[in-house]
Structure formats: C-alpha cells, structure tokens
Amino acid sequence: ALDSLKDLFASVLLPPRRALRTRVGGRAAEGAAGAAGQARALVLAHFETQLAARYGRLLGALEAAARDPVAHVRQRALKLAFELLVARPAHERPRLLALLANKLGDQEPRVASQASWLLAQAARRHAQLRGPMATEVQATVLRPNMPAAGVYHGVNALNQIM
C-alpha cells in the first residue's frame, strides 16, 4: 500500500518544481484578479493544504515502518523515503532526510549501510541536497547515544556525500 501511495504522490499529486502552498485565507488569493480568481485561489489553497496533510500522514506511516522490528520492513521504508526525496525534493525534505539519517545508527548492519548508500545516491542525483544532508548526518552522528557502528556509517555517508 505504501508503494502505491508513494507512486501516486510522487508522479501525480505533488507539483514537480515547488512546495505545496498551505496558506488559507486572504494571503492565498492576493494575486488573483476578481471574485472568480479569488475563489479559485482559495479552493486551490484548501486543496493543497489537505494534500499536505495527507502527505504528512504518509510520511508518518513511513516513519512508523522505519521503526518496525523486522529489518526488511525498515529497509523498504528507507527505499520509499529515498524515492520520495529524489522524486520531489521540495516536499518535506527535512523529515525525509531525518528519516534516512536516523537509520545510520540502526542495530542491523544491512539497514545502516543501506541508509548510508541511499544518502550518497540522493546527493549524487540532487547536488543542492548535499548541504542539508551533511548537516543532518552530522547532527545524527554527534548524538551522545550513537553506537560506534552508527558513527562509522555516518562518517562513511559524509565521505560519500562530499
């Protein structure tokens, strides 16, 4: 189900070059001329607000799947988060980067190394993500409860990102 929702959001619902506009009220209709233009702008703002809420629920489900006890489910959640980040980097970028970076400290080495590899792949595809990605990985690695293996995977990811 998460695969289908990811495909729906990434290919159809989310605008390709901009973030969702979630303002409701007079500010959403400022540029519209006339009553019909203002009504259209308000309807569009309401739709995008609702769409952003649904997208947030999808990301919440991905975050829950990333905490699943089964390693395969965690790996699948990482892959979906990566695909959403690469397909539409303007949407919820901090949340998706945090999800990927947090898995660098996973107790299962497969999951942690996949997180490192996916971060490197995202940096290769979108160069503008390198700065925020490095900041997020650095914050994750410098946590006091980060295991040594997590620090290793984080440094490896930083090396591949830069």
Q: What is the mean pLDDT of residues 127-152?
A: 90
Residue 86 predicted with pLDDT over 60: yes
The 3-state secondary structure of 44-100 reads HHHHHHHHHHHHHHHHHHHHHHHCCCCHHHHHHHHHHHHHHHHHCCCCCHHHHHHHH
* Residue 127: both structure tokens together: 């160069």
- Which has more confidence, 1 or 39? 39
Under a CB-based contact definition with an 8 Å cutoff, are residues 15 and 91 in contact?
Answer: no
Residue 14 predicted with pLDDT over 60: yes
- Cα–Cα distance between 138 and 9 in angstroms, integer? 29
Residue 22 predicted with pLDDT over 90: no
- Cα–Cα distance between 111 and 143 in angstroms, integer? 19
**CB-based contacts of 116: which residues, under 8 Å, 6+ apart?**
104, 153, 154, 156, 157, 160
Determine the pLDDT at residue 108: 92
Q: What is the mean pLDDT of residues 99-121?
A: 92
Confidence category of residue 8, pLDDT binned at 50, 70, 90: low
- Nearest by Cα to 6 from 69, 123, 92: 92
- What's the pTM value of the predicted model, to 2 decimals? 0.79
Confidence category of residue 67, pLDDT binned at 50, 70, 90: very high
- Cα–Cα distance between 12 and 127 in angstroms, integer? 24
Q: What is the mean pLDDT of residues 88-98?
A: 81
- Which has more confidence, 162 or 115? 115
- Cα–Cα distance between 120 and 100 in angstroms, integer? 11
Summarize pLDDT for 32-57 with one digit per residue, the tens. 566 777 888 888 888 888 878 888 88
Confidence category of residue 27, pLDDT binned at 50, 70, 90: low
